[in-house]
Amino acid sequence: MPCQIAANDLTRILAILLLAGSAASGETLQEIAPTELQAEVKQLAGQALDETSIHRLIEIDGQLAASDNPANAEIQQELLIALAKSQNETALEHVRSIFENAPERRGSVAKALAASTSERPTDFQDWRYMVRSLSVVQGDEAVDVMKALQRFRTRANKAQWVRQVILAGLQLPPDQQSAAIGLLQHWTGVPRAKSQIGDWSLEKYQELFAKDYPDEPEATPPTDQPNRKWTLASLEGPVHDFKSSDALVQQGAAVFQKATCQKCHRRGTVGEALGPDLTTLGWRRQRREILLATLYPSHELNEEYPTVTVELKSGKSLSGMLSKGSAEMLAIVSNKGVREEFPRTDVAQIVNQKVSNMPDGLLEPLTEEEIVSLIAYLTSVEGIPRPHAEEGL
């Protein structure tokens, strides 16, 4: 029986082959100056793209990505916008594959898709990618994405996405927060008339969120506890700037156990599967997201691993992460990784908690170098297949 390949799979394969070809070719960024590449991108982006031009832009993007030079970000952003606007399937597959395969570039991809929504204002796939980007976009990227999402009739129906808009909006300067307020009005229908939106603020949407979703974490930025050694402000720079290496990843594997992560989490064959599996984390999350989740465990709660208080008919209470047992049994995993089972028939009630089962302060005993190596280990995808399941939608 002949092998058949779907069109979208074929274009994805083509994009990957082009990237691999550019990395393997003799033509490198040392031979072509960044200014020459920038001029070429500007020339190509200023005209209608044909297949040859699209393949060349994809090749340049592969070269720039391989160089790992932060100075190339502006060129790559212009390149992605040109590809996203082209409406060419090969170009779009390349842009979308970057979102899936390079989490650190998701903000740039979302900005490119936002710029192309005037050409495709009903493309649900674009909408999904932009909604998924709300947890990572910042500054102008966040403004562009939130304005673009208002062009779609589709509205987010999950509390977590409404919360992300509020949180992203709160990070913007006051003169840019109207983008978040406009999207929140579009999604929630409050206030009913757009003419009344001038009287609304993000603080009002925080109050509305707390009322509509009482079981969800509050839509407020994380705060640092007094006298903490490590904070987002102190670690964001080092975590963003480090260049990974085999040695750093190996060091991080040891830190993974030193920080007792393995008591609840599994990565590959290491650790226990009591909490979320971290094997494919590098495919799914950015460095900053992982740092936030580690510093502030209760800021984002995993709905598949709820923290609860179980009250038994005997009067005993158990708090921790709810874990499924057999048909007759349930279990609670404490924040120290201790699992305790009990019959389902003994349960009087289960109350959800808005506090993560993951302990606070896990990074406090570590050095900056150890924290960086831990993030390098958690984000390493060497030999780890990309997961097929999409996140959150």
What does the pLDDT read at residue 393? 60
What does the pLDDT read at residue 388? 67
Buried b (16+ CB within 10 A) or exposed e, 132-166: bbbbbbeeebbbbbbbbbeebeeebeebbbbbbbb
What does the pLDDT read at residue 197? 87
| pLDDT tens per residue across span 325-365 | 788 999 999 888 888 999 999 999 999 888 898 989 999 99
| pLDDT tens per residue across span 169-192 | 999 999 999 999 999 999 999 999
What does the pLDDT read at residue 336? 82
Domain limits, the chain: 1-101, 119-221, 232-297+359-379, 307-352
Please, are residues 306 and 319 in contact by the beta-carbon 8 Å criterion?
no
Q: Which fold does the domain 232-297+359-379 belong to in CATH?
A: Cytochrome Bc1 Complex; Chain D, domain 2 (1.10.760)
CATH number of the domain at 307-352, out of 1.20.120.1200, 3.40.50.300, 3.40.30.10, 2.30.30.100? Answer: 2.30.30.100
pTM: 0.86
The one-letter code for the residue type at 250 is: Q
Kind and range of the H or E run holding 53:
helix 51-67
Cα–Cα distance measured from residue 379 to residue 373, given in angstroms and rounded to the nearest whole number: 10
**Residue whose tokens read 């506090």:** 355
Q: Which long-range contacts (CB under 8 A, 24 or more apart) does 51-56 make?
A: 51/88, 51/90, 54/83, 54/86, 54/88, 54/90, 54/91, 55/18, 55/90
What does the pLDDT read at residue 392? 52
Domain pair 232-297+359-379 / 307-352, same fold: no
What does the pLDDT read at residue 33? 63
In the chain, which stretches have pLDDT less than 70? 1-34, 388-393
